[in-house]
Structure 1
């Protein structure tokens, strides 16, 4: 589909939507025009996106479908709620029950998006609260446990009216529990965003329930969904997808932000023996070795440090102050033993410099030279140790 067809398609849908909604209900048009257009353009961006995996796209499309369904059902519910004659109360009963049944699906899919790299480990037992809520909500046609709409469009709450909210809260708590176990910088930013989004949506729920202000929850959710997509897209650029630490592009941007007179400490780290691990045990073991070294470097207790993946087995640490001795001492503690993969002890060489003024690229070359000299010393020491063992 070329750009011209996409624009024509978008214009026709928006025009048709405007005509239909204006004929039915002006208030709903004013409330939902912006979020519906937002979801429409979001769907186009999502389909054409090249950064997300197929699984991530499918999860976002699923969430988009849930939000779209809820926007439509609340809109229809608002349109028919003033009509007290005929059988319109049945349609309101249907749309209201649908809203209650589908409400926990949104935080459930958000949980799947957040744990997109761990879906294989997640059992279907976690779907149980959503399934129970859906059955009881739709069963209200006969039991009235969650809600009831009587002839004349008389709406009343059932004894389990808060069940969808508790089910949704369960999944929000699950997200926060998962978030508390994340250690990489990118995942922490994602966690902070989801926490803020949860507060915003909870505020919208409170406004609807306590003050009976309509159209708040799902309009807010639509905005949060697009913002979450944009955040993940940015994180994929600024963070290395394999290790979760900052990417080389982020390091380049960090160098550009360093002004004259600013004191920084730079360290280049190069893994030892990665090729041997790949050749002996395969690239999966090599990938695990890279992750192990990055986790060891992240654990260094140097305040204000940022860790970047510079190349395949190279890392760079940037600290926004002079602390060469402190950083060298910490690196020295773990350089010869920073984890194991298939009984192979992982190690790395490093070079540390302090920088204030001058050419940053020359400073990087100097740091690389220090690291290379350190690697040669480690190899010489290893050969000497092997020679003593043979003797």
Structure 2
């Protein structure tokens, strides 16, 4: 029973990952949908085991096979759909979530209708299985969701570090490789085993990303900042920017910590948006941020911060208050500076000079 063994090898790690996700103290976006995704994949593998074991040539066995196949064909695109909904979260494509359900619903209708009308599959009264004329519908629907998933994920490539890209590249190669192999060698039954491995990779990737992120602002955290500094210690063309939020304690005392948290999130998002072409944004302290940028001129940094301040005044930070940012920078040169930490001190000193100049400025409050 090699097919049963293969499905059990698929199923057991999935059950383990489901347990780890449930008890995991680190929360991440779309955790519920990820659990649905894992559960759907585990159910699909279980249904395959049922169809493999249910080989008796009886009418009751035929009924069991018909319903097992109907659920299996309905669930197959659901797995890819749930993958897509996870990656669509907080993107401009999220508004299309109702539209992308249509192929899923149509496939489910055809799958369960096949019990009586032989559309996707045929199960005879003696429990003999054949492919129906619309057999490839579930495959095409799944492929559509997978392609959409990869496309949307690639639009977020600037948010990923090298480690994330390696893991995601492995996921894409495994999925596409298994699809191609399944087309040419239908008896291999690679799809669900491959998807299970990919989900494990995805879980590891999410965990690693969470460990590198500040949980409040989603900027990279101090640990990630320190690690990248070590990697940049001999590089040229690196610009270090230190940012501090003026009078932040006053914001917390006057408006409350919830407003302060919203302000920090807005600042982090704005910094990431303006500097994404040059480097990553880090939260290195309570109200302190840093950017390690590459190939950016000092004049461009000043221009960006002028644009940020104008943007804050225009939008009022989506609160009733517009923050004032003090910043300092240093273009690191291994030949001029003792080490990269020497350049950080210079950037930090320049930030405090800017902070002194900004002391007399007041928050814009509406």
- TM range, smaller chain: 0.7 to 0.9
Structure 1: give runs of 5+ residues left out of the alignment: 1-24, 387-391
Q: Residues 61-88 of structure 1, C-alpha deviation per residue, up to 9 Å, x if partnerless?
A: 322221111112223323445x657754
Aligned partner of residue 103 in structure 1, secondary structure: helix
Q: Which residue of 2 aligns with 1:268?
A: 242
Q: For 2:276 and 2:61, how far apart are their aligned partners in 1?
A: 66
**Contact 2:251/2:260, CA 8 A, preserved across alignment:** yes
Higher relative contact order (CA 8 A, sep 6+): 2
Q: Residues 218-240 of structure 1, C-alpha deviation per residue, up to 9 Å, x if partnerless?
A: 00010011111111111011123
Q: Which residue of 2 aligns with 1:150?
A: 124
Does 1:354 pair with 2:354?
A: no
**Contact 2:122/2:129, CA 8 A, preserved across alignment:** yes
**Contact 2:243/2:351, CA 8 A, preserved across alignment:** yes
Q: Residues 313-343 of structure 1, C-alpha deviation per residue, up to 9 Å, x if partnerless?
A: 221111356x563454334533643423246
**Contact 1:80/1:92, CA 8 A, preserved across alignment:** yes
| TM-superposed deviation, 1:270 | 1.2
Trace 1:8-27 onto structure 2 (pairs within 5 A): 25=1, 27=2
**Structure 2 counterpart of 1:167, from 141, 157, 163:** 141
Q: Which residue of 1 aligns with 2:27?
A: 52
Aligned partner of residue 119 in structure 2, secondary structure: coil
Aligned partner of residue 219 in structure 2, secondary structure: coil
Q: Which residue of 2 aligns with 1:3?
A: none
Q: For 1:87 and 1:176, how far apart are their aligned partners in 2?
A: 42
**Structure 2 counterpart of 1:114, from 76, 87, 91:** 87
| TM-superposed deviation, 1:372 | 0.8
Q: Residues 341-372 of structure 1, C-alpha deviation per residue, up to 9 Å, x if partnerless?
A: 24644431111123325354454333222101
Judged with a 3 Å threshold, the aligned counterparts in structure 2 of structure 1 residues 150 and 85 are, in CA distance, closer, same or farther, namely: same
Judged with a 3 Å threshold, the aligned counterparts in structure 2 of structure 1 residues 164 and 187 are, in CA distance, closer, same or farther, namely: farther
Q: Which residue of 1 aligns with 2:348?
A: 368
Q: Which residue of 2 aligns with 1:379?
A: 359
Does 1:97 pair with 2:70?
A: yes
Does 1:204 pair with 2:174?
A: no
Aligned partner of residue 359 in structure 2, secondary structure: helix
Q: Residues 204-249 of structure 1, C-alpha deviation per residue, up to 9 Å, x if partnerless?
A: 2343344213321100010011111111111011123443332211
Q: For 1:350 and 1:214, how far apart are their aligned partners in 2?
A: 59
Trace 1:252-331 onto structure 2 (pairs within 5 A): 252-260=226-234, 264-279=238-253, 281-300=255-274, 304-320=278-294, 325-331=298-304
**Bigger mean CA offset, 129-138 vs 66-75:** 129-138
Q: Residues 12-51 of structure 1, C-alpha deviation per residue, up to 9 Å, x if partnerless?
A: xxxxxxxxxxxxx2x1244234323322432343243221
Trace 1:130-141 onto structure 2 (pairs within 5 A): 130-141=104-115
TM-score, scaled to structure 1:
0.75
Does 1:42 pair with 2:17?
A: yes
Q: For 1:316 and 1:205, how far apart are their aligned partners in 2?
A: 43
Judged with a 3 Å threshold, the aligned counterparts in structure 2 of structure 1 residues 166 and 249 are, in CA distance, closer, same or farther, namely: same
Does 1:61 pair with 2:35?
A: yes
Aligned partner of residue 27 in structure 2, secondary structure: coil
Query: What is the RMSD of the two structures over their aligned residues, measured on CA atoms?
Result: 3.8
Aligned partner of residue 218 in structure 2, secondary structure: coil
Aligned partner of residue 37 in structure 2, secondary structure: helix
Q: For 1:175 and 1:206, how far apart are their aligned partners in 2?
A: 18
**Structure 1 counterpart of 2:159, from 185, 210, 228:** 185
Does 1:226 pair with 2:200?
A: yes
Q: Residues 263-312 of structure 1, C-alpha deviation per residue, up to 9 Å, x if partnerless?
A: 63211011234445445555454444334433443344686422212123
Q: Which residue of 2 aligns with 1:31?
A: 6
Paired residues, number: 355
